[in-house]
């Protein structure tokens, strides 16, 4: 450790992103990237922005994109916040809305960036165990807290919490912000954005990385009451007043405008996910019910780490978490039809 580091830095345990290996003929099913590319209209929009205007700063508020998102979800522009991927949006949420001197609640099996943000901002985090079916129980969130956050569908489990149960958590905590992290909601779930007008303490975050195939562009957003959005803007403008560049803004607008492409690719992912689920179950795997673009599965006779290493030797990369309760599970991204067939063939040889 360097003597120049701040004391806080020495205590941090950073988030570890999914591996991006450089291997020939690789079947890469470890980072939940969309197997289908972005809309051709996105590429056209980005190409049109490759001109002399790149010397100019982008719109610091991203008003055109905010207006597009607001129109898509039936809210007002001042209810939309933009960031470099949903991870930056979440970082601002933790800093601006979760520092109340009480623990922030999140599931014990969930997106591992949440405890990282707690460490970065000196916020106490408290895990709430999922039930035996790896689902969130709304009654478990009826306890003192400085805020609540959970993904829906959850990651890495893929399990989805029905909208009425989400509403039960929000309604039970009127004095604290409840954040629903909807990175994967478009693969079969129903967004809680429909509830933001009713609950001023609800904030919903989403990303264009998954369902809209723009992980390489880094665009995220949040939707909530104008009061919550103002708090996030205060943080943003004290940190980075130009979060999205011209190419990201243009590409994101085009992605929302081509709704037919979006829906077709989501349906394609859902179909492939269901095919993989059926094949894995036929091989004896337990597969948790998923509404995401991945499945979470374990085999009763084979350790998760062993299967992950066996797949890797055959050029198939999946995500394995060496953590309590889930060490025998594999998180498997839904790939193309050919990739999924290769995955199943390799697993057949291992089990």
Q: Please, what's the b/e burial string for 217-240 (b: 16 or more CB within 10 A of its CB; e: otherwise)?
A: bbbbbbbbbeebbebbbebbeeee
In the chain, % of residues over pLDDT 70: 99
* 275-294 residue pLDDT tens: 999 999 999 999 999 999 99
pLDDT band at 237 (very low <50, low <70, confident <90, very high): very high
Residue 106 is predicted with a pLDDT of: 98
- Determine whether 52 is exposed, middle or buried from the number of CB atoms within 10 Å of its CB (0-12, 13-18, 19+): exposed
In the chain, % of residues over pLDDT 90: 93
- Within 10 angstroms of residue 341's Cβ, the number of other Cβ atoms is 15
Q: Does 20 have pLDDT greater than 90?
A: no
Q: Does 1 have pLDDT greater than 80?
A: no
- Tell me what the mean pLDDT of segment 161-175 comes to: 98
Q: What is the 3-state secondary structure (H, E, C) of 258-313?
A: CHHHHHHHHHHHHHHHHHHHHHHHHCCCEECCCCCCEEEEEECCECHHHHHHHHHH
Residue 239 is predicted with a pLDDT of: 92
Who has greater pLDDT, 12 or 153? Answer: 153
Residue 15 is predicted with a pLDDT of: 76
Contacts of 248 (CB under 8 A, 6+ apart): 84, 217, 218, 219
Domain 40-258: which CATH class? alpha beta
* 316-342 residue pLDDT tens: 999 999 999 999 999 999 999 999 999
Q: Does 95 have pLDDT greater than 90?
A: yes
Q: Does 88 have pLDDT greater than 70?
A: yes
- Within 10 angstroms of residue 62's Cβ, the number of other Cβ atoms is 26
Residue 113 is predicted with a pLDDT of: 94
pLDDT, mean over the chain? 96
- Tell me what the mean pLDDT of segment 210-239 comes to: 97
CATH topology of domain 7-37+260-350: 3.90.1150
Residue 275 is predicted with a pLDDT of: 98
- Tell me what the mean pLDDT of segment 123-148 comes to: 98
* 189-217 residue pLDDT tens: 999 999 999 999 999 999 999 999 999 99
Strands 329-333 and 316-320: antiparallel
Domain ranges of the chain: 7-37+260-350, 40-258
pLDDT band at 3 (very low <50, low <70, confident <90, very high): confident
The pTM is what? 0.95
Contacts of 121 (CB under 8 A, 6+ apart): 94, 95, 98, 99
pLDDT band at 13 (very low <50, low <70, confident <90, very high): confident
Q: What is the dihedral of CA 326, 330, 296, 171, to 10 degrees?
A: 40
pLDDT band at 24 (very low <50, low <70, confident <90, very high): low
């Amino acid at each position: 450790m360097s003597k120049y580091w701040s004391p806080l830095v020495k205590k941090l345990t950073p988030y570890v992103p999914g591996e991006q290996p450089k291997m020939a003929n690789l079947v890469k099913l470890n980072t939940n990237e969309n197997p289908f590319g972005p809309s051709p209209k996105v590429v056209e929009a980005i190409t049109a922005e490759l001109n002399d205007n790149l010397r100019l700063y982008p719109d610091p508020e991203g008003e055109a994109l905010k207006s597009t998102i607001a129109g898509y979800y039936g809210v007002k522009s001042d209810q939309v916040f933009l960031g470099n991927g949903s991870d930056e949006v979440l970082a601002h949420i933790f800093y601006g809305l979760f520092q109340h001197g009480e623990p922030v609640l999140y599931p014990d099996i969930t997106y591992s960036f949440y405890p990282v943000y707690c460490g970065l901002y000196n916020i106490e985090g408290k895990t709430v165990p999922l039930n035996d079916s790896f689902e969130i129980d709304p009654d478990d969130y009826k306890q003192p807290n400085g805020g609540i956050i959970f993904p829906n569908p959850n990651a890495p489990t893929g399990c989805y919490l029905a909208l009425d149960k989400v509403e039960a958590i929000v309604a039970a905590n009127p004095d604290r912000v409840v954040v629903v992290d909807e990175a994967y909601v478009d693969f079969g779930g129903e967004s809680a954005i429909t509830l933001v007008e009713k609950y001023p303490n609800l904030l919903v975050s989403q990303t264009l990385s998954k369902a809209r195939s723009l992980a390489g562009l880094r665009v995220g957003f949040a939707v909530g009451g104008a009061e919550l959005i103002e708090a996030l803007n205060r943080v943003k403008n004290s940190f980075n007043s130009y979060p999205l560049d011209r190419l990201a803004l243009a590409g994101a607008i085009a992605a929302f405008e081509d709704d037919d492409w979006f829906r077709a690719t989501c349906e394609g992912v859902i179909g492939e996910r269901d095919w993989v689920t059926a094949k894995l179950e036929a091989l004896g795997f337990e597969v948790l019910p998923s509404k995401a673009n991945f499945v979470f599965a374990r085999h009763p006779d084979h350790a998760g780490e062993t299967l992950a290493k066996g797949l890797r030797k055959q050029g198939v990369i999946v995500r394995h978490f060496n953590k309590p309760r889930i060490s025998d599970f594999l998180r498997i991204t839904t790939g193309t039809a050919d990739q999924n067939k290769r995955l199943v063939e390799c697993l057949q040889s291992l089990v």
